[in-house]
Amino acid sequence: MNYHLVYDGNCNLCVGFAQLLEKFDRSSIFDYIPMQDKVTLEKFQITAEDCEMGMILIDAEKPENRWQGSAAAEEIARLLPLGKAFIAAYRALPGAKWIGDRTYEQVRDNRYQWFGKRDSTYHSNRPFGCNNQ
């Protein structure tokens, strides 16, 4: 795995996104860390306050390389097959990046009200450090 995805394991939308990515990726690029896993997040010096700003993507080989929020979503898409072309087209559209960033912020800030909160934290079948293929 080349990247660690930190997601909200209590958010229905976030968990649905992580599960979809797990199936599509088949564990060749990403492993998954719920924001509620304080022990693992401490290894990356990520705080609860950091998590409030949205999902985080960490380069496993260079952990100082990180993307958060809509930038993380864009980087995830860029890493997937045909993603580079999609992201290039998205960024070329005037105003699309700005709209995407604002939309991400609204969804992030209202995710529990709009999509619901789980009773228990979802832990991926491809957790941090897992080498399952």
Q: Where are the domains of the chain?
A: 3-115
pTM of the model: 0.90
Distance, in Å, from the CA atom of 131 to the CA atom of 111, rounded to the nearest integer, reads: 31
Which helix (DSSP H) or strand (DSSP E) does residue 67 occupy?
Answer: strand 66-68
pLDDT at 131: 59
CB distance 31 to 43 below 8 Å: no
At 133 the pLDDT is 44
Q: Residue 84 has what pLDDT?
A: 87
| Residues 107/100, Cβ–Cβ less than 8 Å | no
What span, in angstroms and rounded, lies between the C-alpha atoms of 111 and 57? 19
In a structure prediction context, what are the per-residue pLDDT tens digits for the chain, which is 133 residues long? 699 999 999 999 999 999 999 988 865 899 999 999 999 999 999 999 999 999 999 999 999 999 999 999 999 999 988 888 989 999 899 999 999 999 999 999 999 999 999 999 999 988 887 754 4
